Amino acid sequence: MDWVERMNKAIGYIEDHINGDVDYEGAAKVACCSVYHFQRMFSFITDVPLSEYVRRRRLTLAAFELQNSSIKVIDLALKYGYESPESFTRAFQNLHCTTPTAARRNGTKLKAYPRISFQISIKGAAEMNYRIEELKGFSIVGMQERVNTSETSTIIPRIWNNAREGGLFERLWEIGAFDHSMRGLLGVCADGDFGKNEEFHYIMSIVSEQAPPERMVKRDFPEATWVVFEAEGGPEGIGGIWKRLYTEWVPVSGYELAYLPAIECYLPPEENRNELWVAVVKK
């Protein structure tokens, strides 16, 4: 089963459960990747967060039912996962710019968001510098914080600024293992799906075999194959690599994403480049 087919099957899974509790982990399993990768991949490819897609689809289907049945608003609210008719009405009005009651009338303008389907598009005019690394097991130690996927562009820079001002960089360098292939400070992107909030753990860290100091965490990684992408310039360069990983490299590479956290490796400033490490498995 290729990448496009898996992603479309994941959308089918979401649509089959749209009236109830959409299990993001279940959808990710259908797509053969972790919840973290599935949420990020969906957002990068569609430019819409997964939770927002689910919300739009539910309210689209709710509008169809209002126009084509006599179902009560309170029953429709419960059917599509809202705790009360009031919360459903607010969400409906925010999307459709009208109330559920008004939506029953002929001539009322409503919005429809169709089911997403994935296709391969030909890209790749710009090169992607990457290499494959086989690494033995290793550990990272650092400070862990929960981050919302939709706010990475603001929260993660804040994490780095706080780390710099609070002396975390120096504390990490003191415990680092500098003979490792990942030679810089690390931003480890792990876990995901905290109550459908599209959040993940971001661990400001370094490769280390030492016990974690107070308030820090330690994560162990097994032996694995990693694809390493080079991003020239400052930290902003890695953002573009993330999108190209999902939209250009994964669909045609012959590899699948492994169920391991991804790692942003920030090298010393004089190198003027950074790296994105993503664990993969051969198809």
- C-alpha span between 202 and 146 (Å, rounded): 6
Same-domain status, 83 and 196: no
CATH of the domain at 246: 3.20.80.10
Residue 121 lies in a domain: no
- C-alpha span between 193 and 29 (Å, rounded): 13
The model's pTM is 0.82
Same-domain status, 99 and 134: no
CATH of the domain at 93: 1.10.10.60
Residue 247 lies in a domain: yes
User: How many domains does the chain fold into?
Assistant: 2
Same-domain status, 145 and 257: yes
Instruction: Kindly give the confidence (pLDDT) of every residue in the chain, 283 residues in length, as a single tens digit, with 9 standing for 90 and above.
Output: 588 888 999 999 999 999 878 888 899 999 988 888 998 889 888 888 898 999 999 999 999 999 999 999 999 999 998 989 999 999 999 999 999 999 999 889 999 999 998 876 655 556 778 899 999 999 999 999 998 877 777 888 899 999 999 999 999 999 998 778 888 899 999 887 655 667 889 999 999 999 999 999 999 999 999 999 988 766 667 878 888 888 888 888 888 999 999 999 998 878 888 999 999 998 8
For residue 7, the enclosing domain spans 3-103
Residue 154 lies in a domain: yes
Residue 117 lies in a domain: no
Same-domain status, 182 and 71: no
What would the DSSP string read from start to end of 96-151? Answer: HSS-HHHHTSTT------PPP--------SS---EEEEEE--EEEEEEEEEEEGGG
Residue 109 lies in a domain: no
Residue 63 lies in a domain: yes
